[in-house]
Amino acid sequence: MSIQRINRGKSHSYIDTRTGERIPGVTTILSDGIPKPALINWAADATAEYAVDHWDELGTATPTARLKALRGGRYAVKDEAANRGTQIHALAERLVHGERVAIPEGLEGHVTSYVRFLDEYDVRPVLVERTIWSVGHNYCGTFDLIADLLDPDDPEPDPDARRRHTWLLDLKTNRSGIFGETSLQLAAYRYADFWIDDDGSEQKMPDVDFTGAVHVTAGGYSLVPVEAGPMQHRTFLYAQQIAAFTATSRELVGEPVVSPHTSVWSLTKEVAW
């Protein structure tokens, strides 16, 4: 075994067990290396919405408590969405294998939407939730699904005889749809050198015909093609360099230089009469 994914609650990291080196993950690289101006507007809107929704409660709090509540208000929305996404991903991993699941309250619509996707495209999994490793570019990650899907443009009525394509897919559950940086995420997975099997051995990444995202909401699903070719992989590698710079940029700034001697100059104020 060389690469190991270490899970820590809601987060995870990747370790090269031979050297003990921590390997950067795809989503962390994109978080640190790609500007996200929309998040600035989201944070402002979420804070304003929290203030309006908790106006009376905030009015009776001390200024310090009020400030603390406003600073943390947006994270309640973010954590709720993250928890929902984590639960749906876990259920999706079992559903694609045909397992029966107990549906948590409030996720009935999402599960129904994902099952419709599996049924309507007769999804046949190739690899599910696997860790990838790019030896040459030193990054890891975990993709959601590589599967064979029915071609919706093939008129053949018999599903067993209908043309199929292999897709590399990422599952998205956010309200806003698919963002452009998903192309970089998928390209990073697609052009990795290996995926890690259950024994910890490296296996060559399979070729895929298409890349895309499955956007799952309580009201339905969309299979969205996303371009993730060599150009997008190159852009991802640029983002990796920016992320590395961001993490180490303070090391480029030295200590103030001490002057070779002490100045004796001083300012005097003259009063005009």
- pTM for the model: 0.83
Question: Strand pairing partners for 149?
Answer: 165
Spatial separation of the C-alpha atoms in residues 154 and 136, rounded to whole Å: 39
Q: Is the pLDDT of residue 26 over 90?
A: yes
- How does pLDDT run across 3-19, given as a tens digit for each residue? 888 887 677 889 988 88
Q: What is the pLDDT of residues 174-227, one digit of tens each?
A: 888 899 999 999 999 999 999 999 988 999 999 999 999 999 998 999 999 999
Phi first, then psi, for residue 207 (nearest 5°) are -75, 150
All domains of the chain in start order, with CATH: 3-34+104-246 (3.90.320)
3-state secondary structure 238-257: HHHHHHHHHHHHHHHCCCCC
133/4 Cα distance (integer angstroms): 10
Of all residues in the chain, the percent with pLDDT exceeding 90 is 49
The 10s digit of each residue's pLDDT in 138-151 is: 999 999 999 999 99
